[in-house]
Amino acid sequence: DAKTTQPTSMDCAEGRAANLPCNHSTISGNEYVYWYRQIHSQGPQYIIHGLKNNETNEMASLIITEDRKSSTLILPHATLRDTAVYYCIVRQYNNNDMRFGAGTRLTVKP
């Protein structure tokens, strides 16, 4: 099962930053943190991943604490189209499966 803990739901105002937390206190040294999202019943969409350094791409930023026991996904300027379920997943880099938990349902409001 998923080795992460996320809030069940969050709201965010359109145009503001959405900060989605994730706890992964049992993460091991060779495990990465991955973030995906799922809009309605579409296929999960890859967002970003990282090991220990903070990462940024065109979609989001990933902030990982120094002890690696938690992380935060940041959507800098949330839009209505960012309304989705966001999944934080911990796994080894080239492990053969990605195990999804319940995720956080983010609702971006006008």
Partner 1 sequence: EPEVTQTPSHQVTQMGQEVILRCVPISNHLYFYWYRQILGQKVEFLVSFYNNEISEKSEIFDDQFSVERPDGSNFTLKIRSTKLEDSAMYFCASSDYSAPFFGPGTRLTVL
Our CB check for partner 1 shows the closer of 14 and 100 to be 100
Residue ranges binding partner 1 (CB under 8 A)? 34, 38, 41-46, 49, 87, 93-94, 96-103
Shortest distance, position 50 Cβ to partner 1, whole Å: 11
Shortest distance, position 93 Cβ to partner 1, whole Å: 7
Shortest distance, position 96 Cβ to partner 1, whole Å: 4
Our CB check for partner 1 shows the closer of 10 and 32 to be 32
Residue 71: Cβ-neighbour burial (10 angstroms; 0-12, 13-18, 19+) = buried
Our CB check for partner 1 shows the closer of 50 and 75 to be 50
Q: How far apart are CA 67 and CA 58, in angstroms?
A: 26
